[in-house]
Amino acid sequence: MNVVFFGSTDFALPTLQALQAQTNLCLVVAHPDTRKGRGRKAAAPPARIFAEENGIPCLQADQIRTGQFFDAVAVCKPAFLVIADYGKKIPDALIDLPFHATLNIHPSLLPRHRGPSPIPYAILSGDRATGISIIGLTDEIDAGPLYAQCRTEILPDETAEELSARLAPLGADLMIEAMQGVAEGRLQPREQDHARSTYAPMLTKADGLLDFTRPVTELVLRVRALQPWPMAHCTLPLTDVSQGLRVNIHRATPEMGDPGAPVGTVLSAQKTGIRIAAAGGALIVGRLQPAGKRPMGAEQFLNGYMIEVGMQVHETQN
């Protein structure tokens, strides 16, 4: 089967590997290079690197609605267009082009968590399970017909980054199964239950600022859900830094009960964790990352910084 693939990120790589092994992967369509770091050097997306390493033609296009782009895809005579974390709307002319179908991998149990941030929102919502959905494309975001689904439990301390790494190969396997089912005529799509849909909007930097007036259990979910971006953060009061020190929080656990102090107060700073009062208890920060430094445990952090116990975490700008 001739296949054209749309996708760019690390999440796409297991699907690319599976398509290369089991189909005739004719073309990869990826996002343009981005500039990163202090030197603003151009960085190629993972899908382009994979394509180049494996001798697969790759297009990087800002505009995929041109006749020239359509012709480049059409010449492949694809049986399927496969989409994984591409993040841009595919024109109807391209959706209708393949002999069999255009199929998209969405990392949630649709209709729950439609939209661009399904993995973080599964954790933020306290869901016990999530999964992969293989869907067709329609004008409404992630509302297309369902071809296949698989389910997996969300582990108790799993971050969004860790969950994404687990879901990616599940998506690859399910995509291959769905393609085989469609090609053999034994798999028919079904409508989603649109009345049960929820939406997972794009995350912003502002989502990372921890609000200690919120329940401590919610804060722990936020710490897990916002990795690797935008990262949960706050600004700790230090004895020798008037404006405090902004830190990203990588690991935290809840301590339930009356904290005995106003929310946002640093209750204690010990090698086992930094305790900060929150609604319904205290957030115990076990692993954190000062600006410009590597992540470290609480004990290592306290070897280099002195926290003002009894003081409030500072307001911070995003």
pLDDT of 314: 80
Domains of the chain: which residue ranges?
Answer: 2-196, 207-304
Q: What does the block give as tokens for 283?
A: 């957030």
Distance of alpha carbon 51 from alpha carbon 44, whole angstroms:
11
Distance of alpha carbon 148 from alpha carbon 186, whole angstroms:
12
Q: List Cβ neighbours of 50 (8 Å cut-off, separation of 6 or more).
A: 13, 16, 17, 28, 56
Please name the fold of domain 2-196: Rossmann fold (3.40.50)
pLDDT of 318: 43
Distance of alpha carbon 204 from alpha carbon 182, whole angstroms:
38
- Cis bond leading into 45, ω under 30°? no
Q: Per-residue pLDDT for the chain (318 aa), expressed as one digit of tens each?
A: 999 999 999 999 999 999 999 999 999 999 998 877 666 677 899 999 999 999 999 998 777 878 899 999 999 999 999 999 998 899 999 999 999 999 999 999 999 999 999 999 999 999 999 999 999 999 999 999 999 999 999 999 999 999 999 999 999 999 999 999 999 999 999 999 999 999 999 999 999 999 999 999 999 999 999 999 999 999 999 988 778 999 999 999 999 999 999 999 999 999 999 999 999 999 999 999 998 899 999 999 999 999 999 999 986 544
Please provide residue 183's backbone torsions phi and psi, each rounded to the nearest 5 degrees: -60, -35
Please name the fold of domain 207-304: Methionyl-tRNA Fmet Formyltransferase; Chain A, domain 2 (3.10.25)
pLDDT of 242: 78
- The residues with which 101 forms a beta bridge, in sequence order, are 80
Distance of alpha carbon 167 from alpha carbon 163, whole angstroms:
6
pLDDT of 40: 67
CA distances from 53 to 19, 31, 60, 111, 292 (A): 15, 17, 16, 36, 33
pLDDT of 240: 82
| Contact assessment for residue 298 and residue 307, using Cβ atoms and an 8 Å cutoff | no
- The residues with which 3 forms a beta bridge, in sequence order, are 25, 80
β pairing state of 233-238 and 241-256: antiparallel
Q: By C-alpha distance, which of 210, 224, 291, 280 is closest to 252?
A: 224
pLDDT of 291: 86
pLDDT of 39: 65
